[in-house]
Structure 1
Amino acid sequence: MTNKEKKVKLSIGGDQEALLFLLKQEKEKLYRTAYSYVRNEADALDVFQQTVLLAIESIHRLREPKYFTTWLMKICINVSLGVLEKQKRVISMDDLKFQSLSTEIATSDEKMDLLNAIYQLDEKYKTVLLLKYYEDLTFEQIAEILGEPIGTVKSNGKRALTKIKKILKGVYIDERTKQI
């Protein structure tokens, strides 16, 4: 049993200091995930706070300590989707040009084109790509978070990449044609 799993067991048993320690370790990942969904700082902070509150209130329901991070990410994603559902917001492509996924991502044209393409995808495809490539989760972890079979997650990942290639191919072929 890892040190993290020991802290999770203590948290499940009611040790709030252990839980706060674990939440501090996950805070950047949670914020990044929230921001990747809601795409603005204020909403991302709200999602983060709601996620932490829900985690504190429901840690006693976590059955397997080794799935703490997966469980926490699932809460964050569900809260993010709930915020988006409540707002029924439509983000224009112009808004996306001026926002980045996180402070770690450079604002190069290619990365912005990639983000724009990702945000054009259906939710199931976007979620797999964001968790896989921006949160560095394995397909197994993503399947656990989403509660879907691993085959479905892998298929959605492959379909998402195919759709991204089609979207980006159109952008870059059009630009090359203009220059010639």
Structure 2
Amino acid sequence: MNDKTEKLLIRFIMENKENVYRLAFSYVKNAENALDIVQDSIHKALSSLGTLKSEGSMKSWFYRIVVNTSLDFLRKQKKIQLMDDKTLELHSPIIEDAYHDIDLEKALEELPHTFRTVVILRYFEDLKIEEIAEVMNENISTVKTRLYQALRKLRIKMNNELLEEVK
């Protein structure tokens, strides 16, 4: 590509930095790791700018890089994880909850990655179904199905938790 495309990418990143950070944070739940993922994603995007098919698909192209970088990070963490989660929580700094509804956050965390990604991209990043399909490199019908299934699982989980609170 050319300097024009590089400048467009930089402008896109600057205008959407909060959304990109929030997307990375939704996977790793840690501010420093999310910043590292954003930085790695920017580096990957700049070095692979030639793979961008059109400037119109820059958003979905870059979001796909962020999602893949986040998933790669999580895979590496699973291999490296030496402490159990409770020990890690005791020693980690307290981070303000990004969600207003703790039950929703817990229910989202229990969803498989593909379902969680669809919900986050649709409702937290406000992407259209077509854009989500591009980001995830899936068919539109697959994305719609996953979104429907994810919402159904969330609804069931949230209703069960509500019933437990009433008891």
Which TM-score applies when normalising by structure 2? 0.86
Q: Tell me whether 1:50 sits opposite 2:47 in the alignment.
A: no
Is 1:69 equivalent to 2:69 in the alignment?
no
- For residue 121 of structure 1, the aligned residue among 111, 114, 117 is 111
Question: Which residue identity is paired with 1:54?
Answer: K
Contact between 2:9 and 2:58, CA under 8 Å: does it hold in 1?
Answer: no
Matched, 1:87 2:77: yes
**Aligned equivalents of 1:115, 1:24: Cα separation in 2:** 27
Residue of structure 1 aligned with 2:9, choices 12, 19, 22: 19
Aligned AA (1:100): D
Q: Size of the alignment, in residue pairs? A: 157
CA contact 1:39–1:99 (8 Å) conserved in 2: no
CA distance in 2, matches of 1:154, 1:42: 33
With CA pairs under 8 Å and 6+ residues apart, which has the higher RCO, 1 or 2? 2
5+ residue gaps, structure 2: none
Deviation of the 1:21 alpha carbon: 2.1
Q: 8 Å contact 2:60–2:135 — kept in the other structure? A: yes
Q: Cα RMSD between the aligned structures?
A: 2.1
CA deviation profile, 1:117-151 (whole Å, cap 9, x unmatched): 01101111111001001000111110111111111
Q: Which runs of 5+ in 1 are unaligned?
A: 1-11
Letter in 2 for 1:14: D
Task: Indicate if the aligned counterparts of 2:45 and 2:62 stay in contact, CA closer than 8 A.
Answer: yes
